[in-house]
Amino acid sequence: MNKHKLSIIILAALTLIMLGTVVTQAQTIQDSTICYGYTTDLQPKGIGSTVFNYNEKVGYWVKIQTPPSVEYRIVWTDPNDVQFRSQAVTVVPKIGENWGIVFDSINIAESTVKNKLGVWKVQLYIDHELKSESQVQIISYENLLSNIQNIQNQIADIVQEKDLLLAQNAALEVSLQSLQVNYQALQAQAGTSSDYEKIQQDYDALKADYDALKANQGSTRTMMYAAIVVALVSVVVAVYFGAMKK
């Protein structure tokens, strides 16, 4: 084999590789959503990322630009991170367009899914490679009503507590106003600093007089006791001499 033929073979191989790469790169995910199903023109319907557990089913819709002829698989994982379903799907092409969709759904109300409440994960694998991922939350209508009732009860408690605080605040304001009135009246009655000094001087003088009176009272008592003793002695002496004279 000459060098010219070898060069042609290598060039052809490279061209095929490049063509394959271009085809692969041309395939792109244009859009994806959680929904109930899709219309005849391949548009999603019943779109929503939260569904009740009494709903019939929930699905995953993905729009693909220039979809290649490879394997497509949609995997559903429950809130406990346990794989629930792994389903191979085929592209539904849009007639006259260069795009198509893949779609898969799981039953809810008539399956164990109704008891697996929480956030589910759904993924699209194209040729064993993860290309798209979304989440859907499955909730219980009864639990929702119970939560709403709990919130309403909490709001009622908060309103009641607020009313109590308002009443207490009003009572405190009345007390404060009363204290302010009493304080103002006390200020009107209170004298100046010179008045307080005069009162202090009068008190000091009165206390001095009281202490002196106590001292004098002690001396007077002593003198009175002495006079009484002298009088008693005189009486005794008189009685004695009177008895002697008889």
For domain 29-139, the CATH architecture is Sandwich (2.60)
Q: What tens digit of pLDDT does each residue of 188-235 get?
A: 776 667 766 777 787 787 768 767 766 776 666 666 665 665 565 555
Q: What tens digit of pLDDT does each residue of 13-22 get?
A: 444 343 333 3
Alpha carbon distance 90, 227 (integer Å): 140
**Residues contacting 65, CB < 8 A, separation 6+:** 26, 27, 28, 29, 30, 98, 99
Digit-by-digit pLDDT tens for the chain (246 residues) are: 554 444 544 444 444 343 333 333 456 999 999 999 999 999 999 999 999 999 999 999 999 999 999 999 999 999 999 999 999 999 999 999 999 999 999 999 999 999 999 999 999 999 999 999 999 999 998 877 777 877 888 888 888 888 888 888 888 778 778 777 877 777 677 666 776 677 778 778 776 876 776 677 666 666 666 566 556 555 555 554 554 445
> In the chain, where are the structural domains located?
29-139
Alpha carbon distance 71, 90 (integer Å): 8
| 57 CB neighbour count, 10 Å cutoff | 16
Alpha carbon distance 184, 190 (integer Å): 10
Q: Are 101 and 33 in contact (CB under 8 A)?
A: no
pTM: 0.55
